[in-house]
Structure 1
Amino acid sequence: MNAPASECLFCKIARKEIPAALVYEDDTLLAFKDIFPQAPVHVLIIPKAHCEGLGDLTTETAAAAARIPQVAAQLARDLGVMTGGWRLLNNCGPDSGQTVFHLHFHLLGGKALGGRLCQ
């Protein structure tokens, strides 16, 4: 099934056991560049505490997740995509395309993304 927090890729990044190109960090959230970008700007925003997805929120992870849109907007400004537009999305579960089972949101921008989200 899904990896425990001790083996979770994003938990390892949050603990600095695996390097990542960080673009934001505070006490509860971390943002880093996606290693397989789907747009010129593709950043992942995660709570540092492990949570598999939106259906598994705890009080701690819900409080962190509630701040993600605000952090995403600041990153969109900082990364130069605020004016042209950007997308913030979450995949929840295997049928959605989630491959790392640690809650994360994708911030995408830097090109026209179009209206379709699936093929």
Structure 2
Amino acid sequence: MKNNNIFEKIIKKTIPSDIVYQDEILTAFKDIKPIAPTHILIIPNIFISCANEINKENCYILGHMFYISTIVAKKEKIDQDGYRIIINCNKNGGQEINYLHMHLLGGKKLGKMC
């Protein structure tokens, strides 16, 4: 880990957080400022700044993020009614923390995005 930002502190468990899933590749935890009843962030355990940094050596992480999002959706009981998965990239894409992360949102009817 290079960046030592809030996500890395959550991964290392040096700050309190509500972790719902963790393995050797990813950590998933409840967002502290949720925009839906279920709002989970799924992050790699290694620092990747944004989607632009995905390459041949680390692309397996995205597949694992999507796979784990389905497991967490079932655990959070939002899999049947539906959920949304979002990855923002850089400032204009809405990325607020310089660390690749996936938002898993559900628990209510989510508005149309496009």
Equivalent residue number for residue 56 of structure 1: 53
- Over 3 Å counting, the alpha-carbon distance change for 1:100 and 1:69 in structure 2 is same
Distance 1:102 1:87 in 2: 20
Is 1:77 equivalent to 2:74 in the alignment?
A: yes
Number of residue-to-residue matches in the alignment: 114
Cα root mean square deviation, aligned:
1.6
Is 1:32 matched with 2:51?
no
Task: Check whether the contact 2:3–2:47 (CA below 8 A) recurs between aligned residues.
Answer: no
TM-score when scaled to structure 1? 0.88
- Looking at structure 1, the residues matched to 113 and 63 of structure 2 have their Cα atoms a distance apart, in angstroms, of 26
| Within-5 A mapping of 1:6-21 | 6-21=3-18
Greater mean alpha carbon deviation, residues 21-30 or residues 58-67: 58-67
Letter paired with 1:38: I
- Tell whether 2:107 aligns with 1:110: yes
TM-score normalised by structure 2 residue count = 0.92
Q: Deviations over 1:69-93 (max 9, x none)?
A: 1110111111010111000110000
Q: Does 1:95 align with 2:89?
A: no
Quick one: percent identity of the two aligned structures? 36
| Whole-Å separation in 2 of the counterparts to 1:60 and 1:21 | 30
Runs (4+) of structure 1 moved beyond 4 Å?
none
